[in-house]
Each structure stands twice: as C-alpha cells, then as structure tokens.
Amino acid sequence: MEKPSRREFVLGATAAAAAPLVGGAVNARAKGPARKLGVAICGLGNLSEHQIAPALQKTEHCRLSGLITDSPEKARQWQSKYGIPAANVFSYDTMDRLAHNKDIDIIYIVTPNAQHADQTLKAAKAGKHVICEKPMEVSVEKCQQMIDACKAAKVKLAVAYRCRFEPNNLECSRIVRDRELGQLRYLDAAFGINIGAPGQWRLKRELSGGGALVDVGIYALQATRYLTGEEPVMVSAIETKTDPVKFAEVDETMTWQARFPSGVLATCMASYNLPTVTRFRGIAERGWFELDPAFLYDGNHGRRSDGKEIAQPSGDQFAAEMDDFASCILEERQSIISGEEGMRDVRIMAAIYESARTGRAVTL
C-alpha cells in the first residue's frame, strides 16, 4: 500500500472528521457509520492511567471498551471508573478469548517493550487491530513478526507516535516540506529526562531492550525522520555512563549523528540522567526554526529566525492518534505510523547501538 504524504494525511484526517464514516472495514459496516470502535488497553500502568484512558474519553471514533491486565485489583478499579463489564476484562493469558468479543476492535498495547510482539501476535490471532506503544519491540526480528502476524490476520498495526499528531511538530515538518526557509541543512534534536527510581522495568534490559535511546531518544530520531522526510543513510554514536550501577543494564546517555540523502546532517542526544529537555532546531538555507519544548504532552512551542512564533495548542495527541487509527481502519487506509514505520526506528536504533559499541559509523 502506498504511504500517504503528511499533507494528504492532514487533509484526510480533517475530511474524515467532517464526513460520515463510510469506510469498508467489516466492523464498521456491521454497526453503521456512527459506531465508535472499541479499544481495550493492554497494560494499566502510568501512561495508560494518566494519558491514554483520559484521551479515549475525548475521541470521536473510539471508546474505551476493554482491559487486559494481570492485576485483578487494577481491573476492578478501572471497571468501576470507566464502566467496563467483566466480559471485557482479560488477562495476558486469556487474550485468545478476545476473538469472541464483539465489543473490542482495537488492542492498545502499553506494556514493557519486550512483551509487544507476544501480545500483538495474540491480538492479531484474535482478529483485533493493534496499536502498540513505542519502541515497537526490542529487535527488528520481533517487529517483522508483528507485521507478518497482522498481515496474515488482515488486521491493522500501528505504533503510537503521538508527536506525528502534534500541531507544532506538524508545522515544522510543513516548513521544511514547503521549503519556506529554503532547503533544510542541519538538525539537532534532544530528549533527556531523569528516569527516577532504580528497579523499574525500563532499567532492565530483558524487558526494555535498551535505555534512554529506545525510550526517549526515539522521539529525537523520529523527529529527524519526519522533519527531513528522509531516511538516514549513515549513523555514528557515542555512549557515556556516569552511574554504572543504576544504568548497569541499559544506556544512560547517548549522542548520535546521522546523514540523510539530501545532505542534511543531524546531531541527537538521549539521556536518562538529565533534567527534562525536549527540543529540536532545524537550520535551512535562509533561516532556522525550533521547538523547545518539542515532545511534551502539552505546551510545545517554538520560534523561527524570522521572528514568527510556532505556538499552536498541542491538543490531546493520544486522542488524535487514536482517532486517526480508527479512521484508517474504517476507511481501509494505511496508517502513517504503521508497523513498517515503527520497525524503521528499531532498525536505526540497532545501528546506533552497534556504532556506540564498535566505534564505527554504520551505513544503513
């Protein structure tokens, strides 16, 4: 399927919101255009509780209809809060029974990275569409399994890149695409946070597959790709570890640089050991643009060298992302955040780790 341009996507999304939903998906047809697709959240951690569930109360084309968790206590709390019937609550081991549930169309996977493939395979086998938190998985091979499984089951697969629906990030992509400041030449992008307490799953390689790079660096990597509209052809990376106890299993801070086919160079940074910094700046022939902050849930804004502000309301990126995925299902469109797109980042991050380990630039 041909990937739509971002311009087409933006126009398409607007059109979808205004027009009745007349897509060809079986579920949509079965219950008519007004039906909202049912979403079961798989994994009821912080992100699900504070971002995704509230966002699903604001969506036009989705509703929170199910839960997948191994915590009976959390299940009870969520059922009570969101009015979810016991029939729509599953554990990780009973996901095969999803096949018989007509109230759930989409599984939103929000579990540790190394569980994504397993749960995606189960969801696909049950005939459910899947949107999966990023990083997609811990290896290219696992990503490919997810893509293959969803293809075989004829369900859609997306990776939850919320910034692809953030108006200020979209505006910066537009500035580059329309060459409003001329040809882009250089980008720098950074995402650093203080990861907090030791012991959490993100610091365990078996569950996370990596540290700062795969968790927050992926935003900077994505930004270099959606801002340029190109794929990097070479990356090189350096890692540093100032706390080898806390970060015994995963990367604490990484920098990498990348070259793109048009000649754009990018320098990027990801850290688990900094005060929060989320920013990028692009420098083009005739000026620059920047977002700082760039990747927050809300309040992203920036400026341009010509004095113009870039400061649209960030909106609820999770709600926009879910509505787009539902529209893709209903209209049988390929998502711009497809499994293939998620796998590209995993492949590039593997190259970044390889470069940091070997001290050699990796050609992609």
* Site residues, a second copy (CB under 8 A): 183, 185-186, 188, 190, 192, 234, 236-238, 240-242, 253-259, 262-269, 271, 273-275, 277, 283, 285-288, 305, 359-361
Distance CA 106, CA 116 (A): 14
Coil, strand or helix at 89: strand
Question: DSSP secondary-structure letter at 335?
Answer: P
Task: Compare residues 327 and 355 and give the one whose CB is closer to a second copy.
Answer: 355
Task: Read off the tokens for 50.
Answer: 């504070």
The answer to whether residue 134 is catalytic is: yes
CB of 240 to a second copy, least distance (A): 5
Whole-number Å distance between alpha carbons of 328 and 156: 8
Residue among 190 and 328 whose Cβ is closer to a second copy? 190
Distance of closest approach, residue 244 Cβ to a second copy, in angstroms: 10
Q: Least Å distance between CB 279 and a second copy?
A: 9
Catalytic residue among 36, 122, 128, 134: 134
Q: Among the options 108, 142, 161, 219, which is catalytic?
A: 219
Contact call for residues 173 and 273 (beta carbons, < 8 A)? no
Q: What is the DSSP letter of 30?
A: H
Minimum gap (Å) between residue 213 Cβ and a second copy: 13
CA distance 250 to 57: 35
Cβ-based nearer residue to a second copy, 146 or 172: 172
Q: Which of helix, strand or coil describes residue 94?
A: helix
Active site residue 82: no
Nearer to a second copy, 37 or 266 (CB): 266
Sign of CA dihedral 70, 73, 76, 79: negative
As annotated, the active-site residues are 134, 219
